[in-house]
Amino acid sequence: MDKIQINGGRKLKGEVTISGAKNAALPLIASAILVDGTCEFFNVPHLMDIKSIKLLLEDLGARCTFDDHVMTVDGSGIHKIEAEYDLVRKMRASILVLGPLVARFGHAKVSMPGGCAIGARPVNMHLTGLEALGANIHIDHGYIEARADRLIGSDIYFDTPTVTGTENLMMAATLAKGQTVLRNAAREPEIVCLADALNDMGAHISGAGSPMITIDGVDKLLPAKVTVIPDRIETGTFMVAAAATQGDVRVTGCNPDHIGGMISKLKATGAQIETRPDEIRVRGGETVKSVDIKTLPYPGFPTDMQAQFMALMCTARGTSMIHESIFENRFIHANELMRMGADITLSQANLAMVRGVPELQAAPVMASDLRASASLVIAGLMAKGTTVISRVYHMDRGYEAMEEKFSALGADMKRIK
Ligand X SMILES: C=C(OP(=O)(O)O)C(=O)O
The residues carrying an active-site annotation are 116
The single residue among 20, 45, 100, 165 that binds ligand UD1, judged by CB under 6 A, is: 165
Closest approach of ligand UD1 to the CB of residue 137, in Å: 12
Closest approach of ligand X to the CB of residue 369, in Å: 7
Binding status of residue 126 toward ligand UD1 by CB under 6 A: yes
User: What is residue 368's three-state secondary structure?
Assistant: coil
Query: Considering CB distances under 5 to 8 angstroms, the limit depending on partner class, which of ligand X, ligand UD1, none binds residue 154?
Result: none
Binding status of residue 92 toward ligand X by CB under 6 A: yes
Nearest Cα neighbor of 148 from 180, 176, 126 is 176
Choose between 23 and 387: whose C-beta lies nearer to ligand UD1: 23
Distance CA 324, CA 327 (A): 7
Binding status of residue 93 toward ligand UD1 by CB under 6 A: yes
Binding status of residue 373 toward ligand X by CB under 6 A: no
Binding status of residue 111 toward ligand X by CB under 6 A: no
Closest approach of ligand X to the CB of residue 109, in Å: 21
Binding status of residue 38 toward ligand UD1 by CB under 6 A: no
From residue 166 to residue 205, what is the string marking binding to ligand UD1 with x (rule CB under 6 A)? --------------------x-------------------
Residue 22, annotated as binding a ligand: yes
Binding status of residue 288 toward ligand X by CB under 6 A: no
Distance CA 29, CA 224 (A): 11
Nearest Cα neighbor of 33 from 180, 138, 174 is 174
- Which of these ranges, 10-18, 30-38, 123-131, 337-345, lies near ligand UD1 under the rule CB under 6 A? 123-131
For residue 218, is it left (φ>0), alpha (ψ between -120 and 50) or beta?
beta
Binding status of residue 307 toward ligand X by CB under 6 A: no
Binding status of residue 186 toward ligand X by CB under 6 A: no
* Strands 107-111 vs 143-147: parallel, antiparallel or unpaired: antiparallel
Residue 159, annotated as binding a ligand: no
User: What is residue 99's three-state secondary structure?
Assistant: helix
The single residue among 9, 61, 119, 300 that binds ligand UD1, judged by CB under 6 A, is: 119
4 in Cβ contact with 365 (< 8 Å): no
For 109, other C-beta atoms within 10 Å of its C-beta total 19
Distance CA 191, CA 93 (A): 14
The single residue among 6, 16, 23, 54 that binds ligand X, judged by CB under 6 A, is: 23
* Strands 279-283 vs 272-276: parallel, antiparallel or unpaired: antiparallel
From residue 287 to residue 326, what is the string marking binding to ligand UD1 with x (rule CB under 6 A)? ----------------xx---------------------x
Give, in order, the Cα–Cα distances in Å from 147 to each of 31, 95, 133, 215. 18, 15, 11, 20
What letter would DSSP give residue 174?
Answer: H
Give, in order, the Cα–Cα distances in Å from 270 to each of 15, 62, 78, 321. 21, 50, 53, 17
The C-alpha angle 119, 402, 276, rounded to 5 degrees, equals 95
- Which of these ranges, 52-60, 143-151, 161-169, 280-288, lies near ligand UD1 under the rule CB under 6 A? 161-169
Choose between 304 and 324: whose C-beta lies nearer to ligand X: 304
Residue 33, annotated as binding a ligand: no
Phi, psi of 112 (to 5 degrees): -70, 120
Contacts with ligand UD1 by CB under 6 A lie at 23, 26, 93, 119, 121-126, 160, 162-165, 186, 303-304, 326-327
Contacts with ligand X by CB under 6 A lie at 23, 92-93, 304, 370-371, 398
Residues tagged in the binding site annotation: 22-23, 92, 304, 326
